Structure 1
Amino acid sequence: MTQIAPAETAAPTAPVAQDHLIPTPRGRLFARSWTPPASEERVGGGGVPILLFHDSLGCVALWRSFPERLAAATGRRVIAYDRLGFGRSDPYPGLLPIDFVAAEAREAVPAICDALGIDGFIACGHSVGGGMGIHTAAALPERCRALVTIAAQAFVEDRTIAGIEVAKAGFQRPEELAKLARYHGDKARWVVDAWTETWLSPVFAEWTVDAARARVRCPVLAIHGELDEYGSPEHPRRIAGTTGTARILAGIGHVPHRECEDDLVELISGFLAGAVPAAG
């Protein structure tokens, strides 16, 4: 693993940010971790870190202030990374496979854990990243101590397809693709196509997280915006099932970490304080 110089933080008492390049057989992953100073750790904090999984167009930078805020509120180290093909990670070698959601748990997560010395962790994913978190909790039950999904899809719904079709049409405009290129560089077109062409493919139409969710044994919190344009409230209810907790955020759309960051941080912090002890 190649260490990069620490990123700047807002103040001496803020979580300390550190950038990393993590080698994998397919290419290098860019990651950033935020570690709260020991003096700032809260009751119920410490213990296992939080691993963030970004959405279909996302990357570390597009989490904006959320990881740092979450680290400060929970007293836990927070780690976000760019999936291969996204952000500052290396380009993806070819087309995105149809099982890419499950593959992330098999391929990227173990490499990140090994490189950063992570034993146990809390999986927290936004949108398709929530599906990756579910597969990670199912595949690595001895490591995943809790699961939080934010605006995650549990299956392919008509609303999901309609929202993606609208977004695909928008990215035909050069100015919209240029906005995405600020974060993904010359990989921007691949990023858009990997999202739209995979989800709109007839082969993907029967995809669900049901089988993976049935194998999850850790505490689960499924958060969803009432106005989410990519999925109805049926998604968090299905993810929560009979053992987890579903929370619907009134008046919120698909990106709660930008639309109501304070409320989201408080909700997740409260859940983790009860679900995962400081030493766990």
Structure 2
Amino acid sequence: MRAGMFLLADRGRARVHRHPLVYVGVFALRAGGIGRAIALLSERAEVVEEHRAQYMYVIRSQMLNVMGLRTRVLEEGDAGGGDAVVMIHGVGGWAENWREVMSPIAHTGRHAIAFDLPGFGETDPPGDVAHFGPRDPFYPRFVGALLDELGIRWAHLIGNSMGGAVAYTAAVSQPERTRSLALVAGGGVGTDVAFFLRLCTLPGVTTLSRVFGRPEQARDVLRTCFYDARRIPVSLYDEAERYGFPSFGEFVRALRSGVTIFGVRQSVREHWVALASRYAGPVIVIWGREDRVLPVEHAAEAENVMPRARVELIDACGHLPQVERTDAFLAALLPFLDRAEAAAAA
């Protein structure tokens, strides 16, 4: 018997980056004569510099101390200009998951910011924390501390995949600092959890992935994130070994904070859903219609949690709208940001 399972995640000193799109790390486990492949999907790849040559901004990279953790932050645009737009990658991903949209956002006069969550990319691991709580939740505190370190009073929060759950918890924890909330194929809004995700909460998974993992299998797993695999750049696979594969341990720890082998930890979900009314600001939900990782039906569940949400579905698009259909993604996001700022100024 052989089963293949795909595990989602979601893309120091100043330096210039090339444009990455999406990235995936893959882990294969074989135990007891049964072959199991557990794949950690992350979002990153690189495209040529001229892809966004019309934008004159340069991404700045720096390492900041946030809650005692060395944290890698990417910024583009004028920090003293318009509103900050803070983008949060999915589990297993890193800051460059948002690179394709940072320049267009900065071009509107806003301050585009993306960062590596603790334990991912180049940010230090957080250690023994309750990622989503419900008691003393780590992620919303970390987002708030990052804003403090950057000197930002409020920001638009955007999260993809698990980053959507991080953005949501930050918004309801500190609504006064959240100008708007955008959930991009956001995790945590649905009531179901796929079996392969629940399986990854079992003891020993991390050790087995280190022993039997084969990062070269990323090519097959990556295709599950895209509706059109021709959009995947060849350079994506090198990034798998750099960031995605080593982050699997932190992925498991973050997953266990809200999920068990039996499904969602109801105490965690009920706690956060009950707080939805704390945030009364603008909400948009953006989803690819052909998402094979978190099906588009989850968008309706997000609307149930936050009835004020505006839902935008993108055709011919998988789990990474900001990568696969960048123009359609921006066509939904930028007018939303304009409306949110106009409402705040009214």
In the superposition, the TM-score normalised over structure 2's length comes to: 0.66
Query: Which runs of structure 2 are paired with 1:124-135 in the superposition (5 Å)?
Result: 124-135=158-169
* Residues in 1 aligned to 2:78 and 2:56: alpha-carbon distance in whole angstroms: 7
1:43 corresponds to: none
* Residues in 1 aligned to 2:248 and 2:163: alpha-carbon distance in whole angstroms: 20
Shift of residue 56 of structure 1?
Answer: 0.8
Does 2:262 match 1:202? yes
Does 2:144 match 1:110? yes
Shift of residue 203 of structure 1?
Answer: 6.9
SS in 1 for 2:76: strand
Does 2:277 match 1:214? yes
Uncovered stretches (5+) of structure 2, i.e. residues with no partner: 1-11, 19-48, 219-237
For 1:181, the aligned partner's letter is E
Shift of residue 182 of structure 1?
Answer: 1.5
SS in 2 for 1:231: coil
Deviations 1:60-105 (A, max 9, x none): 1233422223322x32111111111110111232476452895211
1:183 corresponds to: 243
Shift of residue 167 of structure 1?
Answer: 9.2
Q: Bigger radius of gyration, 1 or 2?
A: 2
Could you tell me which of 16, 21, 33 is aligned with 2:63? Answer: 21
* Residues in 2 aligned to 1:60 and 1:136: alpha-carbon distance in whole angstroms: 18
Could you tell me which of 259, 271, 274 is aligned with 2:336? Answer: 271
2:124 corresponds to: 90
How many residues are matched? 267
8 Å CA contact 2:71, 2:122 repeated in 1: yes
Could you tell me which of 76, 79, 101 is aligned with 1:66? Answer: 101
1:249 corresponds to: 314
Shift of residue 124 of structure 1?
Answer: 0.6
In the superposition, the TM-score normalised over structure 1's length comes to: 0.80
For 1:31, the aligned partner's letter is V
* Residues in 1 aligned to 2:312 and 2:188: alpha-carbon distance in whole angstroms: 15
For 1:211, the aligned partner's letter is A
* Residues in 2 aligned to 1:253 and 1:96: alpha-carbon distance in whole angstroms: 30
Shift of residue 200 of structure 1?
Answer: 4.6
SS in 1 for 2:149: helix
Query: Which runs of structure 2 are paired with 1:235-246 in the superposition (5 Å)?
Result: 235-240=298-303, 241-246=306-311
Structure 2 vs 1, CA of residues 97 and 76 (structure 1 numbering), >3 Å: closer, same or farther? Answer: closer
Shift of residue 279 of structure 1?
Answer: 8.4
